Chains A and B, each alone.
Chain A
Amino acid sequence: MARGIRDKVAIIGMGCSKFGERWDKEADDLMVEAFEEALNDAGIEKNQIDAAWLATAIEEQHVGKSGTPLAVALRLPQIAVTRVENFCASGTDAFRGAVYAVASGAADIALALGVEKLKDTGYGGLPQRSRGALNSMWWANASAPGNFAQLAAAYRAKHNVAKGDFKRAIAHVSVKSHDNGSRNPKAHLQNKVSMDQVLGAPIVAEPLGLFDCCGVSDGSACAIVTTPDIARGLGKTDIISVKALQLSVSNGVEAQHNSWDGSYFATTRVASKKAYQEAGVTNPREEIDLIEVHDCFSVTELVTMEDLHISPEGGAIRDVMDGFYDADGRIPCQIDGGLKCFGHPIGASGLRMIYEMYLQLQGKAGARQRSEPPRLGLTHNLGGFPHQNVCSISIVGRYGA
């Protein structure tokens, strides 16, 4: 196997805008908001950045195509800017581009920035968009919640879980994330919710109710990366480094071949295994301290606990109900509030997750800081549909740990 990315690249600055319905802001305002924080944090000049990656997914809704929106917004000095679109993994994939550039030696300092301005549609939920000339002719008339909701049917059938038990488990996921989000000033939703509220909410796509779905919001997040040597040269002492970056992309097996049963994410299982190997993690349940996963829907988070090989197969419900993933549990999941409370400005989400890890690893997460700063944190994105998707995993930690 390739030697991997472990400890080859350091994060020296990160920024994250306030997420939410930013009615008074354009995408470039959000980009600048995130970037200024990261630049101050890194303590470098803008012109020291050699190359940049811009993540946007539904660009037709705001900035349009290409790398120019980032170059123009930040007045980058005519450097290389690559636009990345890879479903909900766009942000982490942009980060991967920047990290690989530094690791290869092609760039000393690189920027990854994700942004999405989704709230200019006039309606709730993700924007409707064309799916291509041929796909539009035969794909089911499916929404994002409708696609992910189907995990519930298949998971319940496989593990023989009663409808009510399943509904309560995913409700716990949302109640926990709202608790966490209530302590985060950058979250879109900062309110706590009760089990009764979640269970009684209107159904969006059976069995997912309103609180089982993450919000839709505007936001931006970014990372500035360099080599550990350059980081030290810049006076950094408590260095946070990249331990693993993996991407797994469906090749049509889940959608077309009867070997997949619909109850799990095949790509997450592949990407997480590779990421643990790359990071030198042999027992994730013991060695990973903190996780941020792609809780676009509560059910996604639930089954992902198993696909990350942290909960045993069929055991996620028990772990969730036992509080294993609560803020005071063994491995807190979505300690910042998750997509549930941040909403999901697609290009920004992956970088927003890494931002939280970066803060937690340095002990800078304020009211929601883990009492003992974590050693290794994992982030996970899942874009597309359960039956055809892109999964990204990052593991970050203290340099040398």
Chain B
Amino acid sequence: MSKGILRHGAYVPMRRLQRKAIVAANGWFNSALRTQGKGERAMANWDEDSVTMAVAAARDCLGDFARDTIAALHMASTTLPFADRLNAGIVAGALNLAESVAGHDHSATQRAGLSALADALGGSGAAPVLVIAADKRRVKAASPLELSSGDGAAAFLVGEGDIIAELVARANRTVDFVDHYRGDGVAFDYTWEERWIRDEGYSKIVPATVKDLFAKAGVTGADIAHFCMPCTLAKVAGSVAKKTGISETSVRDNLADVCGDTGAAHALAMLAHALEDAKPGEMILVAGFGQGCDTLLFRATDRIGSTKPTRGVSGWLARRREETNYQKFLSFNDNVEIERGMRSELDKATALSSLYRNRNTVTGFVGGKCKVCGTLQFPKTNVCVNPNCNAFHSQEPHPFADMEGRIMSYTADNLTYSADPPACYGMVQFDAGGRIMIDFTDVTPDEIEVGTAMDMVFRIKDYDSQRGFTRYFWKATPASSAAAKGA
């Protein structure tokens, strides 16, 4: 049985920083930026990182897919929050995957996402494998990268059976072409001249790999209906297409105007976007560049379109809020020394033994369901909360992350420390039972009222700067239905 893609999904943070705001702030220093003030870049909230965006993309991809059948999880990013702690393990916990899942982190190159996808497709097992790529690149103020990059993630479930696109061929090469690098312990990328990257890098390494791929697959450029070239440098994709005989009309939108380059996730984001449009039988070529090149060739099956992501690239791009406050971007990314006030000084040490004991509650958002009276509650406790039951030891695990909830009470708080005041939070009551006093995110005070439908999202709870530990939990955000109504 041939292997291929079972499902795809993506995630793009809601905020879109207007490039003209970046240019307005930094054009005085680097006048060359002034020509690049068009469009917008995706900007992660302060409580998002590659792990939280990976969870969001995976949830978008998986929908109601039976998660306990997933055999392996691959997480790819050049901005993993932990240098030594399996980041895929955090994602697996948030997704409530079975503990028998294999977990892998892939990093250190912009093509990490596509390489991980290629490896997953090349694996020997028949069980489904989840591949997620995410990046939130830290960029220097007034750098070209600040304008061209964007934050985001994409996810694929691959395997056998009801595939929507089959893998036709793969070709790759590894070349130590250093267009940019980030040394160990250094905060920012060091980048070489763009003209050299374009002419000696992309324009030579990618076409050579694509030609290998075509030879393996027995196809020509004319057979390619969708060409995903994740590069936001001008004219690169067109030039590669021309050199490989691919029609200019097959070159996919690189999302530069509306999102920016999502780094290790971008090849997968563009592929996911292409799969939203692909027709049965169409050939899709995706390339990934970084110290060499990976290329994958897919053919859409008759099942294309039969399973859709919850939102997909298009849906997330449509969930959009313009951000014109460049200072907020600097602050969210810790690129400016903000006076955060004494309230922010509270020690945020995490007891790792307690986190481990409570990992299903905290990371998995698993509460309890009383097997005597059926009452749902969060968190799970020894004694059922229902005053008419109060049974001892009656609780079975019950996941809350995908339940629908509504605001019962709320506030917008200017006193408590928040990286993005006012801190909005309140009691969210789940339609099926249970409730939680919970932080809200991706929300403004005028969007919340008693009764507003809320979705649960996995986010950063706190960052312990003293010990370099990121603490995660779930937050509530206006539900897709509510957002659509408000738009």
Residues of A within 8 A of B (CB): 121-123, 125, 128-130, 133-134, 136-143, 145-147, 149-151, 153-154, 156-157, 202-206, 252-253, 255-259, 261-262, 385-387
Contact = CB atoms under 8 A, between A and B. Distances in A.
Given A133-B354, A141-B439, A146-B425, A256 B378 contact: yes
A130 B449 CA distance: 30
A252 B381 CA distance: 10
Contact of B422 (A129, A206, A257): A206
A-side binding surface: helix, strand, loop or mixed?
A: loop
B342 A123 contact: yes
A305 to B, nearest CB: 19
Nearest to A255: B437
Interface in B395-411: 407-411
B385 A252 contact: yes
Given A136-B350, A137-B355, A137-B471, 18 more contacts: A123-B342, A128-B342, A128-B345, A134-B358, A137-B350, A137-B354, A140-B437, A150-B410, A150-B411, A153-B411, A153-B449, A153-B450, A204-B415, A205-B412, A206-B411, A253-B387, A256-B435, A262-B409
Given A206-B445, A256-B434, A150 B415 contact: no
A150 B342 CA distance: 25
Contact of B427 (A143, A252, A387): A387
Nearest to B413: A146
Interface in B427-485: 427, 429, 433-435, 437-439, 445, 449-451, 461-462, 471, 473-474
A53 to B, nearest CB: 30
Contacts of B409: 150-151, 153-154, 262, 386
Nearest to B409: A150
B292 to A, nearest CB: 41
A140 B377 contact: no
Nearest to B341: A123
Given A128-B343, A134-B358, A154-B408, A143 B377 contact: no
Interface string B272-300: 00000000000000000000000000000
Contacts of A154: 408-409, 427, 450
Contacts of B423: 141-142, 146
Contacts of A253: 385, 387
B348 interface: yes
Interface string B342-366: 1101111011001100100110000
A78 B361 CA distance: 47
A205 B413 contact: yes
Nearest to B474: A138
A142 B435 contact: no
B461 A257 contact: no
Contacts of A143: 413, 415-416
A134 B354 contact: yes
A150 B427 contact: yes
Contacts of A386: 409
Contact of A138 (B343, B347, B362, B417): B362
Contacts of B348: 136
B343 A123 contact: yes
Contacts of B414: 202-205
Interface in B70-94: none
Most buried by A among B345, B422, B433, B450: B450
B412 A206 contact: yes
Most buried by B among A150, A156, A252: A150
Contacts of B422: 205-206
A125 B346 CA distance: 14
A35 B348 CA distance: 39
Kindly name the residue among B345, B412, B433, B434 whose own CB sees the greatest number of chain A CB atoms within 10 A: B412
A387 B346 CA distance: 24
A142 B435 CA distance: 16
A149 B423 CA distance: 13
B351 to A, nearest CB: 4
A123 B416 CA distance: 12
